[in-house]
Amino acid sequence: MAEQTAAKAEKISCDACPVLCRISPGATGACDRYANVDGVLARVDPLAVAQLASERNTAMVPFLSDREWDGSLLKDSANFVTGIGAGTTYPDYKPAPFIVASEHEGVDMVTVVTEGIFSYCGIKLKIDTDRHLGPEQANVRRDGEAVGHVTTGEYGSQMLSLGGVNHLTGGSKREGVMTCQTLLELGNKEAVTLTIDGGSEVVVQAGKPPIVNGVQEERMRVGCGSATIGMFAKQWQGRVDDVVVVDDHITGVLSEHKAGKYIDVQPTGIRLRGRKSTPGRYFQVAEPGTGWGGTDITDPLAILEPFKPAEARPGMTLMMVSTTGEDAAYFVLDDDLKPVAAEMPGNLAKSVELIRENCEPAMTSVLFIAGAGGSLRAGVTENPVRLTRSVKDSLTYVSSGGAPVFVWPGGGITYMVDVLRMPDNSFGSVPTPAIVAPIEFTLRLDDYRAMGGHMDSVVHLDDVATTQDRLRQVEWRPDNPWPYATKHYRWESGE
């Protein structure tokens, strides 16, 4: 009995999240982020430090390499302590794990470094393809569990909204776990397979082409059918009598379009199914799908009605092409004014290739979005609303793993970040379930003091290197703005 009591006593409590694990010696908590190391609660992942200097490509910290370490990993503001591996501000009364002072261009700066526990978070997926993935508002599923929904389609891209507090905590336990896993893997740049009710199966991964129903997409559309007519009308002048650009949203007809009139294309008697909008622009010529131009057709002639005999004539030529140039066909009208497939002339084939050339490569963009509130703001200042006001007033620069973020207007600190601009494996999770993501607030030290910041917890940048034994160096992306640069702050111009 005494031995059992001693064993229990060796466990330590982790208060890094609401789960409050009791961790045995040598073991980790349910999140695999905190461990019991010789009776001390320790963060497992090393604290990531991004270095702007020329040696920023070094994979590990100097004292883990073959050369001797002189204790000078962090050199003034050429280094930036990210929130990756920092730990959290939970529970509310704790200051942020690291509040780091440094100097930049003669100005005393401070960066508040933490990992936020986000239940109010999600991912916005921008999938570059003209393929129809699914109807708006349809559920997006992972292994059968709803993890998000289809939102509005944008120009050449399909948009999905994943996660959110309702999927994380408002449904079944399995739904929450599956949602958290999906957000975690996408944030860490892994591939995830999703299915859409009434639509397609799609494999998505940050920076990679989407795979729709087993077929990897190559390009996004150059524009809608009408825009394509406008861009390439001159390429067709004198080479073909009429052109139809097939598109799920706006199908274009050269002879009726303003661009066709401009180059004196004569009426051909062509008639399309669907709803005519303005001259040369047609809506709803077919149902959405994965065929020509994001429609459900595989035979482009299916969208044509019989030609008008008063305007059409035998021998008239017609080209039909999709908005990506992936599908194209050439026809000649026979004596009955019916289009008959023929070999496409070389000059028209070159115009199709030009459409393809002007289509950008298909890619999946993964943007993490979260609301920073609660204990996170309290970890920065004793008066949390002052942090919000400081961010809105451009006195405080917000970053995530060193990557720039977009802070949404309105109340609170709702931010969005492109995960490709963050270091690898920036995200973690806790089994509540919730996502753990790095966040940093950088501002002038005087402004931090004025907002009621936790001045007693401020440490100098150099001291972080000498007091921490779990630092790792990560590469600074050259396209990311340096957080200490004065251009981010209103005080540069004296405001």
List, as one string, the DSSP characters of 440-482: EEEEEHHHHHHTTB-GGGEEEHHHHHHH-S-EEEEEPPTTSPP
> What is residue 415's predicted lDDT score, i.e. its pLDDT?
98
69, 63 contact by CB (below 8 A): yes
pLDDT tens for 446-480 read 999 999 999 999 998 878 866 666 788 888 888 99
Gap between the Cα atoms of 342 and 349, Å rounded: 13
> What is residue 403's predicted lDDT score, i.e. its pLDDT?
96
Mean pLDDT within 262-272: 95
> What is residue 189's predicted lDDT score, i.e. its pLDDT?
98
Q: Which tokens hold the place of 399?
A: 């970053």
Could you tell me which residues come within 8 angstroms of residue 169 by beta carbon, excluding any fewer than 6 positions away? 119, 176, 432, 433
When pLDDT is cut at 50, 70 and 90, the band that residue 379 belongs to is very high
pLDDT over threshold 50, residue 2: no
When pLDDT is cut at 50, 70 and 90, the band that residue 385 belongs to is very high
DSSP 3-state helix, strand, coil percentages of the chain (rounded to 5)? 25, 35, 45
When pLDDT is cut at 50, 70 and 90, the band that residue 424 belongs to is very high
pLDDT over threshold 80, residue 171: yes
> What is residue 93's predicted lDDT score, i.e. its pLDDT?
79
> What is residue 72's predicted lDDT score, i.e. its pLDDT?
44
Mean pLDDT within 379-399: 95
Single-letter amino acid, residue 26: G
pLDDT tens for 144-169 read 999 999 999 888 899 999 999 999 99
Q: Which tokens hold the place of 282?
A: 């047609």
Gap between the Cα atoms of 299 and 264, Å rounded: 29
Q: Residue 275: enclosing H or E segment and its boundaries? A: strand 275-276
> What is residue 464's predicted lDDT score, i.e. its pLDDT?
80
Residue 347's φ and ψ, nearest 5 degrees, are -70, -30
| CATH number assigned to the domain with residue range 121-216, chosen from the 4 options 1.10.15, 1.10.357, 2.40.30, 1.20.140 | 2.40.30
pLDDT over threshold 90, residue 314: yes
Gap between the Cα atoms of 147 and 162, Å rounded: 6
Percent of the chain with pLDDT over 90: 72
Q: How many residues does the chain have?
A: 495
pLDDT over threshold 60, residue 63: no
pLDDT over threshold 60, residue 62: no
> What is residue 126's predicted lDDT score, i.e. its pLDDT?
97
pLDDT over threshold 60, residue 137: yes
Burial class (CB in 10 A: 0-12, 13-18, 19+), 456: exposed
**What b/e sequence results for 5-36 when a residue is b if at least 16 CB atoms lie within 10 Å of its CB, and e otherwise?**
eeeeeeebebebbeeebebeeeebbebebbbb
pLDDT over threshold 60, residue 79: yes
Gap between the Cα atoms of 245 and 270, Å rounded: 13
pLDDT tens for 194-251 read 999 999 999 999 999 999 999 999 999 999 999 999 999 999 999 999 999 999 999 9
When pLDDT is cut at 50, 70 and 90, the band that residue 130 belongs to is confident
Supply the angle between the helices 346-357 and 225-236 in degrees, to the nearest 10.
Answer: 140
When pLDDT is cut at 50, 70 and 90, the band that residue 46 belongs to is confident
Residue 373's Cβ-side half-sphere holds a number of Cα atoms within 13 Å equal to 9
Residue of higher predicted confidence among 382 and 90 = 382
* Average pLDDT of the chain to the nearest whole number: 89
Dihedral in degrees, nearest 10, Cα atoms 264, 269, 273, 279: 30
Residue 300's Cβ-side half-sphere holds a number of Cα atoms within 13 Å equal to 24
Gap between the Cα atoms of 339 and 327, Å rounded: 17
361, 234 contact by CB (below 8 A): no
Domain with CATH 2.40.30 in the chain: 121-216
> What is residue 465's predicted lDDT score, i.e. its pLDDT?
67
> What is residue 54's predicted lDDT score, i.e. its pLDDT?
36
pTM for the whole structure: 0.86
**What b/e sequence results for 371-395 when a residue is b if at least 16 CB atoms lie within 10 Å of its CB, and e otherwise?**
bbbbbbbbbbbeebebbbebbeeeb
Q: Which tokens hold the place of 479?
A: 């396209």
CB neighbours (10 Å) of residue 38? 8
Gap between the Cα atoms of 430 and 168, Å rounded: 12
Residue of higher predicted confidence among 352 and 488 = 352
CB neighbours (10 Å) of residue 197? 14
